[in-house]
Amino acid sequence: MNKEYYLKLANIYRKLIQAFFSMPFKYGFSNNKEENFNRDILNLYEKYLQLLIKHQEEIPSLENDNKLKNVSCYLYALGLSIPTIFKNIYEALLPWQCGADPGEISGFAPFIDNWSEDELLERLFADLDTLKIKAYPSTINAPIKHDGYKIACFLDKDGKDFHFARQNQNDIWSQKMGFDKKIYLSDNPMAFLDRIPDYDYKLVRTLEIVKSRERKRG
């Protein structure tokens, strides 16, 4: 990562800290102050992710999973981190845990009510489009065709929860359980479902995703 990357990152962090200190003055006692602040923070987080994607490795590796300690299964599968400064500021001012649900990055409300398969996929594809991540239909056992990597998207049969897993450079699948820091491994993501007894998940879609990484100039 070059000097330009760190300068842009520092600018995002500066705006984040400014948002933190200006919240009481900017939003006051508005009924929608938490929602408005959440949107402003997510706008900055979106800029961080767009910057990150251009410079990170194209295919996640288990060796770098320590950078994903703050994220849920969704962002883990996409290989997108939440810097601790974002997490601390977010959770200091908002009454819920920092971790974008599918669709939040692209402007949807957080997950509250039951979702249908179509709603989950709409949110997922909106986020991928916002982050300029290309997605191609795939299956669990299909070979990689676009130099990307695969993610598996699950939804509880009653629409009460979602889950995501990813395939790594060594073809092994991995997942996180919510915000748990432990990483689980398997050669088949369907095997993960046995570890989640509270929900009855079904596979909704398997995708090969390709990030628009900034190539090194040589």
DSSP 34-58: HHHHHHHHHHHHHHHHHHHHHHS-S
pLDDT band for position 218 (cuts 50, 70, 90): very low
Q: What is the CB neighbour count within 10 angstroms for residue 57?
A: 12
Question: Tens digits of per-residue pLDDT, 20-38?
Answer: 888 766 655 555 666 777 7
Percent of the chain whose predicted confidence (pLDDT) is above 90: 57
Q: Output the six-digit token pair for 189.
A: 């993501």
The reported pLDDT for the residue numbered 31 is: 59
Pure H helices in 94-203: 117-130
Q: Output the six-digit token pair for 144.
A: 């990689």
Give whole-number Cα distances, 50 to 63, 131, 194, in Å: 22, 6, 34
Question: Tens digits of per-residue pLDDT, 87-141?
Answer: 898 888 777 777 789 999 998 888 887 899 999 999 999 999 999 999 999 999 9
**Residue 87 bridge partners (DSSP):** none
Arithmetic mean of pLDDT over the chain: 88
Q: Which residue has the higher pLDDT, 26 or 193?
A: 193
CA distance 166 to 89: 28
Q: What is the mean pLDDT of residues 38-48?
A: 89
Q: Output the six-digit token pair for 27.
A: 């939003």
